[in-house]
Amino acid sequence: MKQPVTELVDVLEQASRLLRRLSTAGGLSAAASSALIRLIREGPMRITELAHAEAASQPGMTQLVTRMEREGWVRRTPCADDRRAVTVTVTPEGADLMARRRAERTDAVGALVDGLAPADRAAIAAALPALARLVNS
């Protein structure tokens, strides 16, 4: 699989650009939605943890959390065991917004999928588990 890797990278890059222009319900930025997805999937966590997980700097994450808190998508709560630290939690409003964004993106991609030939749809469906393992590795 030598040349196919090049094609795969091209496809993934184009997919990125496609998604970047999709929806963005309620002014959700890429940085904010990535952090919210993680907080929803992995639960509340500290600024430092979130910064590491998102490959961002600690000050950068402080600022992102500040903007998300201002929008009402997350909440800071002091840690009981360490008074220096805070825990970032997704609010119901933040969770709702992410659900809407997900639905919008699913609709948009679904429309594109509907435009494919049945054989193409089948090939993509068959490759999904493999692709999931690839992007999670």
Partner DNA sequence: TATTGTTATACTCTATAACTATA
Partner DNA sequence: TATAGTTATAGAGTATAACAATA
Contact set with a copy of itself (CB under 8 A): 1, 4-21, 30, 34, 37, 55, 102, 105-106, 109-110, 112-113, 115-116, 119-121, 123-137
CB crowding 81-118: b at 16 or more within 10 Å, else e: eeeeebbbebeeebeebbeebeeebeeeeeeeeeeeee
Residue for token digits 């496809």?
Answer: 11
Contact with DNA (CB under 7 A) among 11, 40, 85, 113: 85
Contact with DNA (CB under 7 A) among 48, 72, 121, 124: 48
Judged by beta carbon distances under 5 to 8 A according to partner kind, the member of a copy of itself, DNA, none in contact with residue 62 is DNA
Note the residues at the interface with DNA (CB under 7 A). Answer: 29-32, 46-49, 55-60, 62-67, 76, 79, 82-87
